[in-house]
A and B are shown apart, each in its own frame.
Chain A
């Protein structure tokens, strides 16, 4: 007779909490960067008005939802419950999301390792990934950001200091 047992998969409480906080912060930072940074603004200008995109993790989140309004403004919609999503970027499992957001694995590496799948237009998804890269460079110190992005950008001193301060201020205050 063999041995049989049934296992209920556990929960990742710490990782879930960490990712929820990070997504909340990054979501607000994207909105802030869309106002303060020209490159992010340009990327959003290229996206269709009314586009709602989400970045989350399977099977039940957490996720962040962001919408580009008809007037071009960008809004962070939190978990976006009940929102119709046009572009859904989903990481296949919590561990991969944690590795990306704890900077053990860069976004391009995670893409290459098939951690992410996209439901929606690929050009728009690429634009969102580019926006995320810029926001990560704003939010993180250089030695960490270098782990998170493929190539650390050569920005001007003004952008590194003044624009970054603006992004931080807007993210924290929500102005």
Chain B
């Protein structure tokens, strides 16, 4: 039900760009923190990946602890970090990296504000984490896309709460080292899906839209250059650090930070509801499935339900393209760009990422069996509509309201 009231929470202060790390001591001071504790992987610490952070703290007069994780995240790990945290009198948490490191850091902030038992209770009984220690996140390119989201995952259990979003995010090019193409592409696809799925319903939250537009544009522009093979650099470029893909890296990591706050909105969308239902029967993550479903859902919303998606072109295309495209053609142009981007990523990851639900390892019979469950969870969508667009996403074809593919799979391939 539309109450006419829109809300959107963006709890993080993001500092991105040149010497962003140097702002951390000052910004942490704003939370009254003078003794932060850094959580990272032991490998990152061993390989000297924390040197830019240590340099940034030089001259600040602060003392900080560093905990290098070398095991899978668990409640025992959180308890161990908390013991160091508590014994050392630390008062803030800085997570360096992504994925499980951030999950442990988030759980540590909950334990630090209460106790590990409070965290255990929250994890076992569910509930909302509403009291945490000051928390900063320094991204590397080891991203999953969930880092800035108001949730944490520990041992398969999910913790929710706006307080779990980082208070500060410092995106600094010195911390962004390259990683495997697939992981980065997955994170990018998830971010693109959670940004663009806001357009699928006519009543887009206008407060979330600027963030969605920013995140989508940064991912559209930044992901492919990051995944493509690096150019050979000359001797001078290597010496002076020129010719590196610094801007794209910073823009991409910033998009991931912005994207975290869109996850709450995205979770209500049909794209993510369907992805949630399909994730257990697929070999892909929920985020990748959402990206596979996204074009079909958007095409159905536009072509069958008549939703106006012309505004989406401003999120996925540049200003020149927006100006050059008549309003009536903008939705189709945007949809084509989204398809093209997902197909381009398939090529860049050497066919590791799926473009259709069939490629995601879902059987047609299983898919049809899940239609009832999916339509039951999708508010405002009829069963036949869900079935149509799931079949379209399965075949990689345009959604057809008569529940048939407009092109055969062979023709589509």
Contact = CB atoms under 8 A, between A and B. Distances in A.
B84 interface: yes
A3 B60 contact: no
Given A4-B84, A93-B23, A96-B19, A59 B68 contact: no
A7 interface: yes
A132 to B, nearest CB: 21
Contact of A6 (B57, B58, B88): B88
A70 interface: no
Given A3-B70, A93-B23, A9 B63 contact: yes
Nearest to A92: B26
B57 A9 contact: yes
A60 B59 CA distance: 9
Interface in A1-53: 1-12, 15-16
Given A1-B80, A9-B63, A95-B59, A58 B26 contact: yes
A114 B15 CA distance: 9
Nearest to A60: B61
A95 B57 contact: no
B392 to A, nearest CB: 47
A113 interface: yes
Contacts of B23: 92-93, 114-115
A8 B63 contact: yes
Count chain B CB atoms within 10 A of each CB in A15, A60, A92, A99 and give the residue with the most: A92
Interface residues of A, number: 27
Contacts of B88: 6
Contacts of B71: 2
- Dominant secondary structure at the B interface: mixed
A59 B70 CA distance: 34
Interface string B53-72: 01011111111111111110
B404 to A, nearest CB: 56
Given A92-B22, A99-B19, A2 B68 contact: yes
A173 B71 CA distance: 65
A7 B67 contact: no
Contacts of A5: 65-66
B169 to A, nearest CB: 14
B272 to A, nearest CB: 34
Contacts of B84: 4
B81 interface: yes
B18 interface: yes
A7 B65 CA distance: 6
A131 B60 CA distance: 28
Contact of B65 (A6, A11, A16, A113): A6
Contacts of A1: 70, 80
Nearest to B88: A6
A16 B77 CA distance: 40
A114 B62 CA distance: 21
Contacts of A92: 22-23, 26
A34 to B, nearest CB: 31
A128 interface: no
B372 interface: no
Given A2-B70, A92-B23, A96-B19, A12 B64 contact: no
A167 interface: no
Given A11-B58, A12-B59, A15-B59, A6 B64 contact: yes
A74 interface: no
A94 interface: yes
Contacts of B183: none
Contacts of B19: 95-96, 99, 113
Nearest to A98: B59
Contact of B18 (A2, A16, A93, A113): A113
Nearest to A3: B68
B66 A7 contact: yes
B263 to A, nearest CB: 27
Contacts of A99: 19
B373 to A, nearest CB: 41
Contact of B63 (A2, A3, A6, A16): A6
A4 B67 contact: yes
A9 B66 contact: no
A2 B54 contact: no
A2 B60 contact: no
Contacts of A10: 54, 58-59
Nearest to B23: A92
B56 A113 contact: no
B15 A59 contact: no
A4 B84 CA distance: 8
Given A11-B58, A58-B60, 11 more contacts: A2-B77, A3-B68, A7-B66, A9-B62, A10-B54, A12-B58, A59-B60, A59-B61, A95-B22, A95-B58, A96-B22
9 contacts: A3-B67, A4-B67, A7-B54, A7-B57, A9-B54, A9-B60, A12-B58, A92-B23, A93-B25
